[in-house]
A and B are shown apart, each in its own frame.
Chain A
Amino acid sequence: MKNLRLKSARAALDLSQQQLADMVGVSRQTMNQIEKGDYNPTIKLCLAICRALGKTLDELFWEDEQA
């Protein structure tokens, strides 16, 4: 399942996937796969992404109630 909240949080800060990937220390492909829902990051990486975007884990990675 695509992570649209992550994508919109990244877009809100006007960051490209490459820029966000560089900030958290992963490859662009990894960031792309996280947004597409093809890869489940570890909690460590999730926290790094949250810190980079200034969001909480719930805001970016918790499952939707409706889903």
Chain B
Amino acid sequence: MDVNVNYVLGLFLGLLVGFGGVALVYTLVYRKHGKPVYDERQTLAQNKAFKGAFCTLAVYTVAGSLCIDMCKELFERTMVFALLGLLLSVTVYAVLCIIGDAYVALNKNTRAYVLLFAGLFLVTASACGIRWATGEPPIKDGVIGVMSLMLASALMALTVCVSLLVHSARQARITDDGEDGE
């Protein structure tokens, strides 16, 4: 089997940079605010969100397996199909957590998360746009390519950002007597 060494090296380097970036952000945030603290209801809501994400990934994988011949023609590489599924399930997890008010920890700021995901969306959308303009669209000749992962990441960041904003606005309306003072 021919293996493109540059592709594999690029993949590992990307993973290293990704994990390194996350570790850096976590170190900076933890140093300032401490470990995230969730109450018991939030923990339960996160467990339910995890179940939803798992079911999403399971259905996606089974659907792909049933249509494996079509998937082979539709996706440039098998990894694209798998990673798109992961991104989808992570998005489902985040959105379900946000709906259950279990995404932002007690000692964290919603604004920081909104800014983070807005920034992530801008970076990935810009990179995707530049690639598209230089002849590397996410879908080329009916085949979903590697660039679709960048577009999917941008959409994921946008979805989480918008969900946080909508949820935050809704929470601000709820008074101590209930929603809209009922």
Contact = CB atoms under 8 A, between A and B. Distances in A.
A27 B41 contact: yes
Contact of A27 (B101, B176, B178): B101
Contacts of A28: 171
Q: Could you say which interface size class chain A belongs to?
A: 10 to 19
Interface of B is mostly: mixed
Contact of B41 (A17, A33, A36, A44): A33
Q: Could you say which interface size class chain B belongs to?
A: 10 to 19
A8 interface: no
Interface of A is mostly: helix
Interface in B163-182: 171, 174, 176, 178
A17 B39 contact: no
A29 to B, nearest CB: 4
Nearest to A19: B176
Contacts of A3: none
A29 B171 contact: yes
Contacts, number: 35
Best-surrounded residue of B41, B101, B106, B171 (most CB of chain A within 10 A) = B41
Interface in A18-67: 25-30, 32-33, 36, 39, 41-42, 44-45
Contacts of A17: 176
Contacts of A39: 41
B40 interface: yes
Contacts of B41: 26-27, 29-30, 33, 39, 41
A29 B39 CA distance: 10
Contact of A41 (B40, B101, B171): B40
Nearest to A40: B41
Interface string A2-26: 0000000000000011000000011
Contact of B39 (A16, A25, A32, A36): A25
A39 B44 CA distance: 11
Nearest to B104: A27
A30 B176 contact: no
A17 B171 CA distance: 13
B91 interface: no
Interface of A: 16-17, 25-30, 32-33, 36, 39, 41-42, 44-45
